[in-house]
């Protein structure tokens, strides 16, 4: 579904992603792991158009998307969540979804605010889609709650709903279970499985090894920007290069 060839991103003298070639497979749960600073989020930023690659190509369903803008990538069917869930804390959950949808699919703020004469109809459709997404992620009952008042796990679900509201084919999740407790992590893993059952392809970054090992079909391991291993959870867990990369890091429990 997504083919990545020699993807490289340099920030000044620092190579955050270094000639990574891989693919994200359709209908599967693809995972990316690696120590802090390994380049995982940068990898997502390159795919989603936040950063332009220094080198390499990204092909989505046969189409070269290497240099597209974030809104163009979103409209082609790739959605993402962010490592920290930024919401408008004084607005309702539903309004967060409506505004978030516009921000993801329009190219500029003016366009978001004064978009079109068809605004009313668009708003209705948008509201409907937002409600569907909230229902799908299991928080329909929170639609009128002020976003600042909901729990971290509920915020994660709002982030999923934000991504789903653009009807993506591929969903990139950056630490979907970051900062939530073990029980809640199981609930989020269940939700990720449900998304894949509904024809979505998922790629997630996560530090929680138990979650990754039980959830992922395929794991890509990054260390210092380079791909050091790729394979099934069992293959990756037994790979000496992976064990080395994790020794001495904060996430040694593979
Ligand atoms: N916008 C940027 N400008 C300069 N350097 C950056 C930028 N974004 C990331 N980097 C650098 O790129 C490297 C990889 O960072 P990245 O955030 O991709 O790591 P990560 O694997 O997501 O780490 P973590 O697990 O802590 O989230 C780091 O050295 C980081 O400082
Ligand atoms: Mg990161």
Test site for ligand 1: of 7, 9, 13, 16, most ligand atoms within 8 A of the Cβ: 16
For residue 165, give the nearest of 99, 234, 244 by alpha carbon: 99
Pocket test for ligand 1, best of 18, 40, 51 (most atoms within 8 A of CB): 40
State how far the Cα of 3 lies from the Cα of 29, in Å rounded to an integer. Answer: 15
The pLDDT of residue 230: 97
My answer on whether 4 and 70 are in the same domain is yes
Q: Is 168 in the pocket of ligand 1 (CB under 6 A)?
A: no
- Tokens 């079109």 appear where? 116
Please tell me the distance between residue 118's alpha carbon and the centre of ligand 2 in angstroms: 38
Does the residue 83 lie in any domain?
no
Determine which residue's CA is closest to atom 2 belonging to ligand 1.
Answer: 11
Cα–Cα dist 60/186, whole Å:
30
Average the pLDDT over each of 54-58, 108-112, 126-130 and give the range with the smallest value.
Answer: 108-112
Each residue's pLDDT tens digit, 17-52: 999 999 999 999 999 999 999 999 999 999 999 999
Range of the structural domain that residue 177 is part of: 1-77+169-254
Count of domains for the chain: 2
In a domain, 175, yes or no: yes
Q: Which helix (H) or strand (E) holds 55?
A: strand 55-60
Residues 126 and 233 both lie in one domain: no
Residue that terminates a domain, selected from 115, 139, 167: 167
254 and 184 housed in the same domain: yes
Condensed to tens digits (0 to 9), the pLDDT of residues 88-123 reads 999 999 999 988 877 766 655 555 566 555 566 777
For a pLDDT cut of 70, what percent of the chain falls above it? 90
Boundary (domain end) residue, out of 144, 167, 190:
167
Question: Are residues 124 and 248 located together in one domain of the fold?
Answer: no
Q: What span, in angstroms and rounded, lies between the C-alpha atoms of 130 and 159? A: 12
| 222 phi, psi to nearest 5 deg | -110, 145
Q: Do 175 and 248 have their domain in common?
A: yes
233 alpha carbon to ligand 2 midpoint, in Å?
A: 20
CA–CA separation, 170 and 79 (whole Å): 6
Per DSSP, what are the bridge partners of residue 231?
Answer: 219
Does residue 238 lie within any of the structural domains?
yes
87: in domain: no
User: Are 109 and 159 in contact, with CB atoms under 8 Å apart?
Assistant: no
Q: Does 9 contact ligand 1 (Cβ within 6 A)?
A: no
Ligand 1 centre distance from Cα of residue 226 (Å): 13
């Amino acid at each position: 579904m997504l083919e990545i060839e020699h993807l490289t991103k340099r920030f000044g003298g620092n190579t955050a992603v270094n000639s990574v070639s891989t693919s994200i497979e359709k209908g599967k749960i693809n995972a990316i792991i690696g120590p802090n600073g390994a380049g995982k989020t940068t990898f997502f930023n390159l795919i989603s158009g936040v950063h332009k690659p220094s080198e390499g190509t990204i092909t989505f369903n046969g189409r070269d998307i290497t240099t597209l803008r974030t809104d163009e990538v979103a409209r082609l069917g790739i959605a993402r969540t962010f490592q920290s869930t930024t919401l408008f804390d004084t607005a309702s959950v539903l309004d967060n979804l409506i505004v978030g949808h516009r921000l993801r699919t329009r190219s500029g703020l003016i366009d978001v605010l004064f978009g079109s004469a068809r605004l009313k109809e668009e708003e209705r459709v948008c509201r409907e889609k937002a409600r569907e997404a909230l229902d799908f992620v299991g928080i329909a009952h929170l639609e009128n709650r002020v976003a600042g008042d909901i729990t971290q796990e509920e915020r994660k679900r709002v982030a999923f709903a934000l991504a789903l509201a653009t009807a993506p084919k591929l969903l990139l999740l950056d630490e979907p279970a970051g900062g939530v407790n073990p029980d809640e992590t199981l609930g989020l893993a269940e939700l990720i499985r449900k998304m894949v059952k509904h024809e979505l392809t998922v790629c997630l970054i996560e530090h929680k090894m138990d979650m990754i090992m039980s959830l992922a079909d395929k794991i890509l391991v990054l260390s210092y920007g380079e791909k050091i291993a790729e394979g099934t959870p069992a293959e990756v867990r037994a790979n000496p290069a992976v064990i080395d990369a994790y020794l001495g890091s904060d996430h040694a429990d593979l």
